[in-house]
Amino acid sequence: MTTTREAVGLPAIAFNLTKPGYLAHKGEIDDAIREVLETSWFVLGKNGDAFEHEFAGYLGMSHVLGCNSGYDALVLALRALGIGAGHEVLTVSHTAVATAVAISATGATPVFCDIDPVSFNIDPDTLEAHLTPRTRAIVPVHLYGQAADMGPIMAFARAHNLKVVEDCAQAHGARWQGQLVGTFGDIAAFSFYPTKNLGAYGDGGAVATNDDALAYHLSMLRNYGWQPGKRYISEIRGVNSRLDELQAAILRVKLRHLDGGNDARRRLASRYESHLSGLPGLILPSQSAGNHHVFHLYVVRLEARDDIATSLREAGIGTHVHYPQPIHRQPAYLDHGYGVGSLPETERACHDVLSLPMYPELPDADVARVARILRMLIEGRPTS
Ligand SMILES: *Cc1c(COP(=O)(O)O)cnc(C)c1O
């Protein structure tokens, strides 16, 4: 389909691209891949060990264990903490569906709390109302690259003896009051899906913890219940969820560039802000005081969201909606009993959020163009 922009000779602006990140570090990545192929050791080897060690170092935590995806990381974390059938886990409905289906996969029930409308993260003031004798854990999600409000969340968890599994899939390197996300709860779950701030070239994930016994349990769970180094005897009923050597080797390179990529995202976010601030009816992302936002996504709010997204697409600009339908209103979760209007801030967000193009190598000129066209659309002026 030719867009208006292409018709007048302007290249389309993609919502997200992973190839520029590859090209920026091509030499290192190609070398890492070639080395794995030449060694021909593909699962649970020296790159996996080294990546786990290096990512643990980055986080300042004792243990990282690679696994197959962010979803698996959440399931493994909850299982290691003994969460299962008959338990309830407090989380949000405004997140990737992986958060909820991971809880469901353990046999536990996700209990959806409403969000804070400014940060889009779980509103700690809503936790109390959802507490029951079956509540065992909280899964706060650090959505869009911004930390959830971890102080009050951890205080609530301690007061009620709840486990905390942080969903860090969108927030590698984000901080709350100077402290890295993933370092607050019992276990942190990370995704290395290709478009995440730390992305592999396929599926990948990891769990992180400071607890030696949990780490040992997790290392058995991800590998058939085998003790590390002891094959063929299952001590527990584990699964197969490992990070392969090719992905680990790629992630070792990408980890070295994580902070640089996050800085680039933060700079692009401030470019958007300088181009777009003050427009009536447009709400820009806000960074809570003390938070280090890593802008996995740059999400604005606007009333005529669908019309504007359509006009942007016609102008050759890619956008997405994260997320168009709250989990509690999706068919798979209707039997959980949340009616329309039960989570008002969540439902409002689904109606008016729009994610603008964002990736570390996005050219400044593209940000300026996106902003200029968005401004014209909001002001009701023709864009061509
Ligand atoms: C991407 C994502 C996940 C799942 O990660 P996968 O690696 O795709 O399984 C979980 N939670 C959130 C918030 C995510 O964005």
Query: Counting atoms of ligand 1 from 1, which one is nearest the CA of 74?
Result: 10
Query: Counting atoms of ligand 1 from 1, which one is nearest the CA of 72?
Result: 9
Q: What are the tens digits of pLDDT across the range 186-241?
A: 999 999 999 999 999 999 999 999 999 999 999 999 999 999 889 999 999 999 99
CB within 8 Å of 30: residues ≥ 6 apart: none
Q: What are the tens digits of pLDDT across the range 295-321?
A: 999 999 999 999 999 999 999 999 999
Whole-model pTM over 0.85: yes
Distance 211 CA to ligand 1 centre (A): 23
Give percent helix, percent strand, percent coil of the chain, each to the nearest 5: 40, 15, 40
Give the DSSP H/E element, type plus range, for residue 298: strand 298-302
Distance 275 CA to ligand 1 centre (A): 31
Q: What are the tens digits of pLDDT across the range 253-286?
A: 999 999 999 999 999 999 999 999 999 999 999 8
Alpha carbon distance 305, 74 (integer Å): 32
Helix/strand number for the chain, H first, E second: 14, 13
Query: Which domains, from first to last, does the chain contain?
Result: 22-256 (3.40.640.10), 258-379 (3.90.1150.10)
Say whether pLDDT at 287 is over 90: no
Is 138 in a helix, a strand, or coil?
strand
Residues in contact with ligand 1 (CB, 6 Å cut-off): 69-71, 95-96, 98-99, 141, 167, 169-170, 191, 193, 203, 205
Distance 8 CA to ligand 1 centre (A): 38
Say whether pLDDT at 244 is over 90: yes
Alpha carbon distance 247, 77 (integer Å): 21
Alpha carbon distance 198, 258 (integer Å): 6
Q: How many residues does the chain have?
A: 384
Quickly state the pLDDT bin for 1 (edges 50, 70, 90).
very low
Is 100 in a helix, a strand, or coil?
helix
